[in-house]
Amino acid sequence: MTNEDFMREAIRLSTDGVRSGRGGPFGCVVVRDGRVVGRGNNQVTSTCDPTAHAEIVAIRDACRALSTFQLADCTLYASCEPCPMCLSAIYWARIPSVYYGNSRQDAAEIGFDDDFIYGQIPLPPGERRVSMKPLLAGEARTAFTEWAGKPDKVRY
């Protein structure tokens, strides 16, 4: 299969999601060694889960299928440029390559505008729209201290 074939599958998932009423117009596949190992379409409204974006669903599906939390040997095909949350998940999963169809500007034109979030990310926590205040940092540090000294930890 070609890159175009994989993108067409992501696009098919996006239209299937719209037509079935499961969520917004977004689809995604994760590919490893020339085969699809994860699929997802936007399921935000049908699952009442604001994190159920197509990329997140596909990454979760691929990780389950491959029994791993790192997809460093995979490629992601998304029907639209990933939002900040999905882009972060792509980095956390260590996916090295992404192809996308629609741009984030295309998404903004139909009501999916992530520019506000992109603008919030570089701000110091105290300047963000969402109120963020440190609380019980000393107590919270206990888990970090234990993690730092844990000899059998699985790094990710």
pLDDT 10s digits, 67-101: 999 999 999 999 999 999 999 999 999 999 999 99
Please tell me whether the overall predicted TM-score, pTM, comes out greater than 0.85 for this model: yes
* pLDDT at position 156 over 90: no
The residue annotated as part of the active site, out of 55, 109, 127, 146, is: 55
Answer yes or no: are the C-beta atoms of 104 and 80 closer than 8 Å: yes
Distinct helix (H) and strand (E) counts, the chain:
7, 4
55 is a catalytic site residue: yes
pLDDT of residue 64: 98
137 phi/psi in degrees, rounded to 5: -60, -40
